[in-house]
Amino acid sequence: MCVYMTGIRNLHKELQTQDYRYMKPGLQDEGDRIELQVIDPFNNRIRFTELKHRQSIGLG
């Protein structure tokens, strides 16, 4: 599943401050987008994606 969003760095920071034993995702720079991937308790991969062009025009 892919979730498009803004504020991905804030989400990353929030996850890093929590004491989750197995959920310490990193940010991946994929050229035109930034991604953060997590795995839920049912082993589903959820990929949060922020498009970089939204940042450059002041939307994110």
Does an H or E element contain 12, and which?
A: helix 8-17
Mean per-residue pLDDT, 36-46: 92
Residue found by looking up tokens 């989400």 in the block: 11
Rg of the Cα atoms in the chain: 12
- pTM listed for this prediction: 0.78
Task: Indicate the SS3 state at residue 29.
Answer: strand
pLDDT of residue 59: 53
Mean per-residue pLDDT, 22-31: 90
**Mean pLDDT for the chain?**
88
Mean per-residue pLDDT, 24-39: 94
* CATH number for the domain running over 2-56: 3.10.180.10
Mean per-residue pLDDT, 22-48: 92
